[in-house]
Structure 1
Amino acid sequence: MASCPPVVNRNYTYGTVEPYILDLFKYHDNRIRHQPNSVISRDDAVDQMEALTLMRACLPDFVTPDSRSGPFYVTLTDLHQSNIFVDDDWHIKSIIDLEWVCSRPIGMLRPLLWLTGQAIDCLVNEKLTDLKIALDKFFFILEEEEKQSLHPCSISVANTFRENWATGRIWYFRALDSLTGLYGVFLNHIEPMFASDITRAAARYWHPDAEDIVRTRIKDKLEYDVRLRQAFEEDNSLEN
């Protein structure tokens, strides 16, 4: 079964934002090219290609010229409820699973989207409104904590969160962080920021061999399903 090849050498260090983001796109491209279950149908393949193409096209709208060279912040990219330990008074005592900590552009700092307990693809309509209310409260508390800090930062994280939320950067970079959720986040939160009459023709500009990739992936998905079914049948036979 094919695996996705690496994009960059693990010892490489980025000095500017755009090359880093463009390499993140390559991870998404490689998933479509090499992962046998990366698409579930022809329409799904075209949708993913279209989203990636349009995400690349609107990159300049989410990376401001004054942030291209930083600042870069150490970021907990896997910070969620099960990784935070608190005491009986809800004071944070420990944070675990730090292997995904990395230094990222300030535009990629994002507030906690799980504050209302909703999955990323469910944050629409009323649930999105509930999140906005929770985030307003979170931003206020964070701002108060920053004012009381013994070592205040030159840049307010609370204000950065607010700006990234208001400009939609939060959705753009959240989509980039999810190999499987990019299309859903793009469809619900990024596409509405732009003209609504964009056609599916953009998918053909994903790459000159887009049609070949679609045909190959559809064939691979059928073979993948057969192998997966056989694996489950073999496991069941062993158990019996």
Structure 2
Amino acid sequence: MDEPSQFTKKSTSISSFTRDKKLLHQPNAIHDQDDGERQLAALAALRATMHHFVRPELRDGPFYLTLTDVHQGNIFVDEDWNIQAVIDLEWAHSLPAEMQLPPYWLTSRAVDGFHDAKATAEYESALDEYLEIYEAEEMRRFGELRQGPVQRHVWRTGAFWYFAAVSVPKGMYNIFNRHVQPLFNEDHADQGIFDEVFFWYWGLGAQSVIDAKLKDKERYLDRVREVFTAPDDPVETGTPK
């Protein structure tokens, strides 16, 4: 049997690759040894579990133009809440159906701001209402459901959190730790031993990468102090009293 061309896998792999590049080239990407272990372990685990969240039947499409920076501040409405304009379109690109996620901000939380079951349940209630409206609009326009069932599936299976983790750099670790990791083992999220062991499998020389990034951070902080310290101001060191 011929293997599909796996465009969804490619999109997800590219997102993971981008996270790697951010970590390698952002000078302050890693704060300390523990932070480095956590980030590398999460990236390795996201790559290892990708096949659980990408459905074979959707690998070759359909693909949709997606506004990846849509949030409340970018949507202009009139007094009756009719949408009048959407701004910040420069981040738009085509994504596989599974990666066009429903908006995470329906309950006004950040994507990594769902700290407990209550917050998640509140979002699920709002999401169900949103998807009912979404599917009704799909039926009105197309006479059939297209993306609505896909979005319900990604929420039901946890793929919502997986694709959010690989798509949002600042929330990657927290999303993985709180929502993806417990799908496989509920205890590992609270056990540092997972990060201590698994970060090695991010790639060859993982510890050397952390060591190099910690040196990058020190150089970065030195440069920040240099830029923001006036010539006549003494550079303060030590712990403030």
Name the TM-score, length of structure 2 as normaliser: 0.86
How far apart are the structure 2 equivalents of 1:155 and 1:21? 24
Contact 1:109 1:160 in 2 (8 A): no
1:135 aligns with 2:127: yes
Aligned pair in 2 of structure 1 residues 236, 211: CA closer, same or farther (>3 Å)?
same
- Give me the identity figure in percent: 36
CA-atom RMSD, angstroms?
Answer: 1.9
Following TM superposition, where does structure 1 have runs of at least 4 consecutive aligned residues deviating by more than 3 angstroms? 234-237
SS of the residue corresponding to residue 114 of structure 1 reads helix
SS in 2 for 1:89: coil
The residue aligned with 2:185 is: 195
Contact 2:11–2:95 (CA<8 Å) still a contact in 1? no
Residue identity opposite 1:134 in structure 2: A
Distance change in 2, residues 1:153/1:225 (3 Å): farther
Q: 2:218 aligns with which of 219, 222, 227?
A: 222
Partner residue in 2 for 1:205: 201
Deviations 1:11-49 (A, max 9, x none): xxx972222221221111112222210011110011000
Q: Secondary structure of the equivalent of 1:180?
A: helix
SS at match of 1:115: helix
Question: How many equivalent pairs are there?
Answer: 222
**Which of 110, 115, 130 matches 1:119?**
110
1:206 deviation in Å? 0.8
* 2: CA distance, partners of 1:81 / 1:222: 37
Alpha-carbon distance in structure 1 between the residues aligned to 2:131 and 2:75 = 19
Question: Deviation at 1:113?
Answer: 0.8
Runs of at least 5 residues in structure 1 that lack an aligned partner in the other structure: 1-13
Runs (5+) with no aligned partner, structure 2 = 189-193, 234-241
Q: Give SS of 1:93's match.
A: strand
TM-aligned CA distance change 1:119 to 1:236, over 3 Å: farther
The answer on 1:108 being equivalent to 2:108 is: no
The Cα of 1:64 is off from its aligned counterpart by 1.0
- Following superposition, the deviation at residue 197 of structure 1 comes to 5.4
The aligned runs of 1:60-209 (5 Å cut-off) are: 60-125=51-116, 126-149=118-141, 152=142, 154-196=144-186, 199-200=194-195, 201-209=197-205
| Distance in 1 of aligned mates of 2:143 and 2:36 | 44
CA change 1:197–1:128 in 2 (3 A) is closer
State TM-score, norm by structure 1. Answer: 0.86
Instruction: Flag the 1:60–1:194 CA change in 2: closer, same or farther, 3 A.
Output: same
